[in-house]
């Protein structure tokens, strides 16, 4: 995306563990969602969602390609454009027995998202759509998992097939709010009359506890990222332990050290050496949608920003150089009210005082959701310095999601 006009890029290797080649750009393949597939003779077909300068190079397009040299072997041509829903994209081309299948996402990545498919005896078409299209959608259906689409099919070693696809888990009142971005779901695939049939709930995925603690000894864990920069440029681990944040968050997103929120219910804490400079911990979608708690100059404050509005909610004095800041999600206070507008959660901001936890603010989680802020990646927890240098001693994240009844649409 940083060099969109250069076309798609390919890297290759003989060993997935690396090393990998330098990128080879495929000039003329302008667009998104590239897919590569080979026929029995070794010819490679590139299929993608084209943003070309002509109608023939826009939509779902295809061309044979020399991957080693990055050369299209023919002008791109339009193949199957789907069933007529908005935004056909995400093509995948497969060969199974005597048929080639072209799988698409349609309807946009929101509530109208669907999976559709067509087939032909040639990888170049013309493709005949499945009479059961869409073969997967949750549009207008109840259930916590929505926006399903962008599927991919895989044949396993035992000859069975599965599908991986994207979806989101919504909470709260209409229109529903999702806060941890798009997730990958897995289900079984049956075949009927040589068409794939999604069997939701047919694959069991073990539950994973995402809790972790970090005292920042040694190299920075790969879970820590910076939204628009290099974590190593803004944080380092001194020899005596802890973490030094070296760039003030006044510099923008690139000065935040973040880790992804992966659970619907969670709590996080950071232990701050307040004598070493000011620190803010936030839960955020982006730099215009966040809630946070900070310590600086002997005061702890609860802060937040929604769009162009930045607000300080509460503050307290502290009398210890070591301070524990806390953020957690809880069930909304008005959950269960008939006809009430309920967010996905409430977000609690506070700190550990001399007599225990001190709650500074309890805020509506709707404003830190994708439906309000936009985007695809969901919430992150960020640590930032309020001064040129600041010091944190440790961080803890706790997955507090309670076990739920099995949901056939909720296999993740």
For position 333, which CATH number holds? 2.60.120.200
In the block, tokens 């005597």 appear at 98
Whether residue 285 sits in one domain with residue 150: no
Which of 145, 170, 199 terminates a domain? The answer is: 199
Whether residue 127 sits in one domain with residue 254: no
In a domain, 344, yes or no: yes
Whether residue 313 sits in one domain with residue 188: no
Whether residue 193 sits in one domain with residue 237: no
Compute the average pLDDT of residues 164-186.
95
Q: What is the CATH number of the domain that holds 36?
A: 2.115.10.20
In a domain, 204, yes or no: no
In a domain, 411, yes or no: no
What proportions of the chain, in percent to the nearest 5, are helix, strand and coil?
5, 50, 45
Compute the average pLDDT of residues 386-403.
87
Q: How many Cα neighbours within 13 Å face the side chain of 108?
A: 5
Which residues, in sequence order, are CB contacts of 394 under 8 Å at separation 6+? Answer: 213, 214, 215, 216, 242, 270, 271
Whether residue 157 sits in one domain with residue 56: yes
In a domain, 293, yes or no: yes
Whether residue 306 sits in one domain with residue 265: yes
In the block, tokens 């919504």 appear at 170
The answer to whether residue 405 scores a pLDDT higher than 60 is no
Whether residue 246 sits in one domain with residue 193: no
**The pLDDT of residue 406:** 38
> How many domains does one find in the chain?
2
Q: For 288-322, write each residue's pLDDT tens digit.
A: 999 999 999 999 999 999 999 999 999 999 988 89
Provide the token pair at 139.
């549009």
**The pLDDT of residue 251:** 59
- In whole angstroms, give the CA distance from residue 217 to residue 27: 45
Q: For 256-282, write each residue's pLDDT tens digit.
A: 999 999 999 999 999 999 787 899 999
In the block, tokens 């002509």 appear at 54
Mean pLDDT of the chain: 92
Paired strand residues for 35: 47
Which of 152, 178, 199 terminates a domain? The answer is: 199
In a domain, 331, yes or no: yes
Whether the full predicted model's pTM is greater than 0.85, yes or no, is yes
- In whole angstroms, give the CA distance from residue 15 to residue 8: 22
Q: Could you tell me the sign of the dihedral formed by the alpha carbons of 72, 77, 82, 85, in that order?
A: positive
Whether residue 160 sits in one domain with residue 30: yes
Whether residue 155 sits in one domain with residue 21: yes
In the block, tokens 């969901």 appear at 378
Whether residue 314 sits in one domain with residue 165: no
Residue 378: name the closest of 171, 88, 108 by CA.
171
Whether residue 219 sits in one domain with residue 195: no
How much of the chain exceeds pLDDT 90, in percent? Answer: 78
Which of 146, 178, 199 terminates a domain? The answer is: 199
In a domain, 205, yes or no: no
Compute the average pLDDT of residues 158-185.
95
In a domain, 206, yes or no: no
88: containing domain? 4-199
In a domain, 412, yes or no: no
End-to-end CA gap in the chain: 29
Whether residue 191 sits in one domain with residue 46: yes
């Amino acid at each position: 995306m940083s060099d969109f006009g250069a076309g798609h890029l390919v890297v290759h290797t003989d060993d997935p563990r690396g090393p990998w080649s330098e990128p080879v750009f495929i000039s003329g393949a302008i667009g998104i969602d590239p897919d590569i597939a080979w026929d029995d003779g070794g010819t490679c077909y590139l299929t993608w969602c084209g943003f070309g300068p002509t109608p023939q190079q826009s939509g779902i397009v295809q061309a044979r390609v020399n991957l080693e040299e990055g050369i299209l072997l023919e002008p791109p041509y339009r193949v199957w454009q789907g069933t007529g829903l908005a935004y056909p994209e995400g093509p995948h081309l497969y060969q199974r027995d005597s048929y080639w299948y072209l799988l698409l996402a349609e309807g946009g990545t929101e509530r109208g998202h669907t999976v559709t498919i067509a087939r032909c005896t040639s990888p170049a078409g013309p493709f005949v759509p499945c009479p059961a299209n869409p073969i997967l959608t949750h549009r207008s259906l109840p259930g916590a998992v929505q926006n399903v689409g962008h599927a991919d099919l895989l044949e396993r070693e035992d000859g069975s097939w599965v599908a991986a696809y994207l979806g989101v888990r919504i909470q709260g009142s209409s229109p529903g709010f999702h806060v941890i971005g798009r997730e990958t779901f897995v289900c079984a695939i049956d075949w009927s009359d040589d068409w794939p049939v999604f069997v939701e709930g047919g694959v069991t995925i073990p539950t994973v506890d995402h809790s972790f603690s970090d005292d920042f000894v040694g190299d920075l864990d790969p879970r820590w990222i910076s939204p628009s920069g290099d974590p190593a440029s803004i944080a380092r681990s001194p020899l005596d332990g802890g973490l030094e944040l070296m760039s003030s968050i006044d510099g923008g997103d690139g000065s935040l050290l973040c880790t992804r929120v992966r659970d619907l219910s969670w709590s996080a804490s950071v232990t701050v050496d307040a004598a070493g400079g000011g620190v803010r911990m936030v839960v955020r979608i982006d730099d215009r949608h966040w809630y946070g708690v900070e310590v600086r100059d002997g005061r702890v404050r609860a802060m937040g920003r929604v769009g162009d509005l930045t607000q300080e909610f509460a503050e307290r004095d502290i009398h210890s150089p070591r301070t524990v800041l806390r953020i957690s999600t809880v069930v909304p206070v008005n959950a269960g009210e008939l006809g009430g507008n309920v967010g996905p959660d409430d977000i609690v901001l506070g700190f550990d005082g001399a007599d225990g936890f001190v709650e500074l603010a309890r805020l509506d989680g709707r404003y830190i959701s994708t439906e309000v802020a936009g985007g695809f990646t969901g919430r992150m927890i960020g640590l930032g310095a309020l001064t040129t240098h600041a010091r944190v001693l440790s961080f803890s994240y706790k997955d507090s999601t309670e076990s739920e009844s099995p949901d056939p649409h909720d296999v993740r």
